[in-house]
Amino acid sequence: MADDRPAQGPRFRWPVEWLGILPFAVFAVLFLILPTMKIVVGAFQTPEGGFTFQNIIELNTDSIRSAYWTSIKLSFVTALLGCAVGFAMAAAVVFGGLPKGIRSPLLTFSGVASNFAGVPLAFAFIATLGPVGLVTVWLRTEFGINLRAMGFNLLSFWGLVITYLFFQIPLMILIITPALDGLKREWREAAAVLGATGVQYWRMVALPILFPSILGTFALLFANAFGAVATAFALTGPQLNIVPIKLFAQIRGDVLGNPNLGYALAFGMIVITAAANFLYIWLRVRSERWLK
Amino acid sequence: MMRLVAWGTLVLGCLYFLLPLLGMTEFSLKMRRGEYSLDAYRVVFADPRFWETFGYSLALSAATIVVGVVLVVPTAYWVRLRLPQARPFVEFVTLLPLVIPAIVIVFGYIRLYNTSSFLPLTGSAFGTDILLTMGYATLALPYMYRSVDTGLRTIDVGVLTEAAQSLGAGWFTILARIILPNVMVAVLSGAFLTLAIVMGEFTMAALLNRPAFGPYMQLLGANRAYEPPALAVIAFAITWGCMGLMQLVTRFAKHERAKA
Amino acid sequence: MSFLNLSHLEKSFGANRVVKDFNLAVEKGEFISLLGPSGCGKTTVLRMVAGFEVPTSGGIVIDGQDVTGLKANQRNIGMMFQAYALFPNLTVAENVAFGLKVKGVAKDRRDARVAEMLRLIGLPEMGGRYPFQLSGGQQQRVALARALAPSPRVLLLDEPLSALDAKVRVSLRNEIREIQRELGITTIFVTHDQEEALSMSDRVVVMNGGIAEQVGAPFEVYNRPATRFVATFVGTLNIFDGKVTGPETAEVAGVPVRLAEPVAVAQGARLSLALRPEAVHLGRKEGAEVVLPAVIQGVEFLGSIIRVRAEVAGSVVALDTFNRSDAPPPAIGTQAEVSLSGRDLIVLQD
Ligand SMILES: Nc1ncnc2c1ncn2[C@@H]1O[C@H](COP(=O)(O)OP(=O)(O)OP(=O)(O)O)[C@@H](O)[C@H]1O
Ligand SMILES: [Mg+2]
């Protein structure tokens, strides 16, 4: 109809096409955007609804600061180790001259392991590295090595790191293997024939090309560990001082004694994972000038 | 030399992954003193709570998959067909659940949909189930969307649609009879992944106080010794089964395509 | 001793012998082409010279130095690949400088060399671009500059033109040859395009099934093919059945002809005699030994050349004539005569 009167100049046209994604938009608003906004807004509100910075300021206590710090450290370390080990394993399979048959089982297993997170994962590690776990007992009876006496505790920071790596490493393998496949044989050979050593090739060509993928995976692993509740909760119960556990306890029973402080705590989590991702996007843009 | 390093890396890595699996399996068999037995499994399977929570999570998985498919397939299809300019926005939204922790999202739910709100979902058990389903659909959104969108890329959406329209098909028919069957593999992949995620999920169910499998496992873990590793073995088997089925449909589809 | 010597090179992948007793001596500054059908082992030979494949047996000597056991990065060789071998994360200038940088050449000397190389390939302004911002032909030119920048002893090219479209291919091959002459660099060029091989090379190696069937100047390979394979693979051939009537004489379609060279075949034996399309003349040519009636079957106008297919003595023969504006090509179905001479006949021995 509108086409019948073209002489009238530009008029407002209802964007009918956009109606097609209306259900999706409604879903996203109701179950993703609004809940998040609720947290963000709540972080700056008094219980009566007025605007305040008080909640944010109150985050600055020893206990909450140390919870954030531990969480950031935990996420950073597991993301870093996950990337490094996952990269090494993927590189071993793609470039190490191993039999072709290894690749597909490894990828399938990575798919399984990256989803084997949460409560059962904690059980598996308790049964292995816990006080009476398989490896603990075996080391003690066969070699006289007492892990506990050496200061190792599954319920500690490093215990958590070891446990988290079980889903972090496979995630890295899953994402980086296709990227490694994308490295052309000609690049390595061209570098070699120009006189470059293997190390020089990796430093000057391969790693810069892979950098965006590695960085993206790092950000993903970071957020993955930062938000993980179930594994830590099943492993150590509610007393471990990391942010998601603290928030869990706060939601359940207002342990902080201030409902709006919970908003601030959650808001802090969003800020940190968002910051990690913005950092990633920024670095990626900088490192990808050579891509369209 | 290089091959040696590669083998070393791989063997060490595999050791790290196999030991916990071995550990939980061995531990789960040790309930009876002095000998291996399946007692722990017997106890678990005899527990009516196990079956209740398992069934509950299974039902919720099914609901989540339905919601996910109904939400994602038409949206991805529409974005490809008519709204390429909406792609950045839609993709951004589908990636958000990877950035915003699940615990934050569910916290928002609890505060937003409480009994005194405009949509008092948490007021009833059924309402909470709906909320939990939506939460799971949110968690699965990144995987479901990616999978379906990749599937759509391999077919020519425009041509299929025009062909169907020229035969007089309406939008519902096109989606249900033309598009859906063509991306069935992608949908099934996404569905099995959703199943794996939902069956083990703990945080959302626990905070919404629903009797799901995740919180049940956690509760058992806090109170028992031998049943938890048995549960872990079962959970691992479920995850493995989901991933195996996912691979199976993909391979099956490749095979079919090769024949065609 | 030649500059580059390949002696008794063998390469097997498992039970599959891909290169068999390959011998080649290349003089300094020579341009050699390896020509052969797909899968005949051209790339494998080149990769052994580059150091990417270890020969099963045999040796490679460059400028008096046995390099058989050296790694690729110790051989000081330049190589150009089929396509997509530029490092995508480096600019054109950085790509060209790569070989110098890994050798530790100082920055100012590096920059000077890069500028020189970019001028050589005619892209002096493009140093700051990334590979994706270049056309295919430009990318390959940069790849050439990158290979040449460290002044390699030998330049290897593995079908560097095959991913380009026809026009660019011809202009770039002339450019490559010019640069090669200018620098006087010893070059091995792999191709399965015979026109490329014949037009560019000082000598051509025709390979088949891992064996070098003939090594020779293009003129020689084309006009005096050593084996039946070479004769049929290089250029178009018309094949006639013939009968040997004497040490240097034979019969074609019942007409006696004198051969260019004596044949070592018993009298009365049958053999195949081949003729290039340009050795068959349309019409009665002065001094021709054989004149046969023909029926025109097809005419292909190729520009300066017109290729005619005619039925002669029961078989179809291709012949080339030059285009002349005053003589239109014959019509299909018309009667004609073709003439040929015994000295142009190539004897094919099996
Ligand atoms: N790494 C390898 N492993 C096993 N077989 C190989 C390998 N590389 C090459 N071959 C085999 O060796 C033979 C020769 O290969 P090559 O690449 O040298 O051929 P080519 O003459 O370069 O052919 P094209 O013109 O198609 O490039 C082929 O049959 C190929 O299948
Ligand atoms: Mg080749």
Is residue B251 helix, strand or coil?
Answer: helix
- Pocket of ligand 1 contains residue C15 by CB under 6 Å: no
Q: How many domains does chain A have?
A: 1
**Which helix (DSSP H) or strand (DSSP E) does residue C297 occupy?**
strand C290-301
In the predicted model, what is the mean pLDDT of chain C? 88
A291 touches C: beta carbon within 8 Å = yes
CATH of the domain at A211: 1.10.3720.10
**C236-347 belongs to which CATH class?**
mainly beta
- Judge whether residue A142 has pLDDT over 90: no
- Pocket of ligand 1 contains residue C18 by CB under 6 Å: yes
User: What is the residue-wise DSSP string for chain A?
Assistant: -GGG-GGG-------GGGGGGHHHHHHHIIIIIHHHHHHHHHTTB-TTS-B-SHHHHHT-SHHHHHHHHHHHHHHHHHHHHHHHHHHHHHHHHHHS---GGGHHHHHHHHHHHHH--SHHHHHHHHHHHSTT-HHHHHHHHHH---TTTTT--TTSHHHHHHHHHHHHHHHHHHHHHHHHHTS-HHHHHHHHHTT--HHHHIIIIIHHHHHHHHHHHHHHHHHHHHT--HHHHHHHGGGS--HHHHHHHHHHH-TTS-HHHHHHHHHHHHHHHHHHHHHHHHHHHHHTTT--
Decide if A210 is inside a domain.
Answer: yes
Decide if A162 is inside a domain.
Answer: yes
Quote the pLDDT of residue A12.
64
- Judge whether residue A121 has pLDDT over 90: yes
Query: What domain range includes position B211?
Result: 37-259
Is residue C60 helix, strand or coil?
Answer: strand
- Is C72 in contact with C48 (CB distance < 8 Å)? no
Decide if A17 is inside a domain.
Answer: no
Quote the pLDDT of residue B250.
80
pLDDT in tens, C222-281: 988 888 889 888 888 888 888 888 778 888 777 787 887 777 777 777 788 888 888 888
Quote the pLDDT of residue C28.
92
- Predicted model pTM: 0.84
Decide if B177 is inside a domain.
Answer: yes
How many Cβ atoms sit within 10 Å of the Cβ of residue C247? 11
| Contact flag C102-A184 (C-beta cutoff 8 Å) | no
Decide if B20 is inside a domain.
Answer: no
More confident residue, C48 or C165: C48
Q: Which of A192, A195, A290 is the closest to C88 by Cβ?
A: A290
Residue nearest ligand 1's atom 19 by CA: C39
Q: Which of A229, A34, A116 is closest to B205 using CA atoms?
A: A229
Quote the pLDDT of residue A125.
92
Q: ipTM of this predicted complex?
A: 0.90
A186 touches C: beta carbon within 8 Å = yes
Decide if B166 is inside a domain.
Answer: yes
Decide if A84 is inside a domain.
Answer: yes
More confident residue, A53 or A3: A53
Sign of CA dihedral C201, C206, C207, C211: negative
Could you tell me how many CB contacts below 8 A there are between chain A and chain B?
259
Decide if B246 is inside a domain.
Answer: yes
DSSP C132: G
Give the CA distances from residue C275 to residues C58, C308, C317, C347, in Å, rounded to whole numbers and listed in that order: 38, 14, 9, 9
Query: What domain range includes position A236?
Result: 49-291
Pocket test for ligand 1, best of C9, C11, C13 (most atoms within 8 A of CB): C13
Best probe of the B interface among A116, A173, A222, A254, by most B CBs < 10 A, is A116
Question: How far does A218 lie from chain B, in Å, by closest CA?
Answer: 12
Q: Which of B240, B192, B238 is closest to B213 using CA atoms?
A: B238
- Pocket of ligand 1 contains residue C39 by CB under 6 Å: yes
Mean pLDDT of C209-227: 90
Q: Where are the beta strands (DSSP E) in chain B?
A: none
C50 touches A: beta carbon within 8 Å = yes
Decide if A43 is inside a domain.
Answer: no
Six token digits for residue C91: 């600019």
Decide if B230 is inside a domain.
Answer: yes
- Is A147 in contact with A129 (CB distance < 8 Å)? yes
pLDDT in tens, A248-286: 988 888 777 777 888 999 999 999 999 888 888 887 777
Cα C40 to averaged position of ligand 1 atoms, centre (Å): 7
Decide if B11 is inside a domain.
Answer: no
| Residue matched to tokens 């340009």 | C278
HEC per residue, A73-92: HHHHHHHHHHHHHHHHHHHH
Cα C196 to averaged position of ligand 2 atoms, centre (Å): 15
Six token digits for residue C179: 């640069």
Quote the pLDDT of residue A78.
96
Decide if B2 is inside a domain.
Answer: no
Quote the pLDDT of residue A18.
82
Q: Which of C296, C345, C341 is closest to C317 using CA atoms?
A: C296
- Is C49 in contact with C156 (CB distance < 8 Å)? yes
- Pocket of ligand 1 contains residue C210 by CB under 6 Å: no
Beta strands C203-208 and C31-35 are parallel
Sign of CA dihedral A224, A230, A235, A240: positive
pLDDT in tens, C288-336: 888 888 899 888 888 888 888 988 877 888 888 888 888 788 888 888 8
d(CA B186, CA B65): 13
Q: CB-hemisphere CA count at 13 Å for B177?
A: 12
Pocket test for ligand 1, best of C44, C162, C207 (most atoms within 8 A of CB): C44
Beta strands C203-208 and C186-191 are unpaired
Chains B and A touch (3+ CB pairs under 8 A): yes
Sign of CA dihedral B241, B247, B251, B257: positive
Quote the pLDDT of residue A254.
73
- What atom of ligand 1 comes closest to residue C45's alpha carbon? 18
- Judge whether residue C112 has pLDDT over 90: yes
Q: C4-227 — its CATH code? A: 3.40.50.300
CA angle C62-C66-C68, nearest 5°?
100
Mean pLDDT of A80-92: 94
- Judge whether residue A124 has pLDDT over 70: yes
Which residues of B are less than 8 Å from A226 in CB distance?
101
Quote the pLDDT of residue B169.
83
| Contact flag C77-A193 (C-beta cutoff 8 Å) | yes
d(CA B125, CA B121): 8
* Delimiting residues of CATH 3.40.50.300 domain(s) in chain C: 4-227
Cα C206 to averaged position of ligand 2 atoms, centre (Å): 14
Quote the pLDDT of residue A6.
46
Q: How many domains does chain B have?
A: 1
Q: Flag residues of chain B having pLDDT under 50.
A: none
* Delimiting residues of CATH 2.40.50.100 domain(s) in chain C: 236-347
Quote the pLDDT of residue A10.
55
pLDDT in tens, A5-41: 444 545 666 677 788 889 999 999 999 999 999 999 9
Question: How far does A217 lie from chain B, in Å, by closest CA?
Answer: 11
Residue nearest ligand 1's atom 12 by CA: C18
Q: What is the dihedral of CA C212, C218, C223, C224, to 10 degrees?
A: -30
Q: Which of C52, C98, C103 is the closest to A189 by Cβ?
A: C52
* Confidence grade of residue A2 (pLDDT, cut at 50, 70, 90): very low
CATH of the domain at B206: 1.10.3720.10
Closest residue of C to A201, CA-based?
C102
- Is C259 in contact with C345 (CB distance < 8 Å)? yes
- Pocket of ligand 1 contains residue C43 by CB under 6 Å: yes
| Residue matched to tokens 């169910």 | B205
Is residue B226 helix, strand or coil?
Answer: coil
Decide if B29 is inside a domain.
Answer: no
Amino acid, res. A286: R
Which residues of B are less than 8 Å from A220 in CB distance?
98
Residue nearest ligand 1's atom 31 by CA: C39
Q: Which of B64, B72, B71, B84 is closest to B135 using CA atoms?
A: B64
Mean pLDDT of A44-70: 88
| Contact flag A115-B244 (C-beta cutoff 8 Å) | no
HEC per residue, A228-251: CCHHHHHHHHHHCCCHHHHHHHHH
Closest residue of C to A209, CA-based?
C89
- Pocket of ligand 1 contains residue C44 by CB under 6 Å: yes
| Contact flag C130-A208 (C-beta cutoff 8 Å) | no
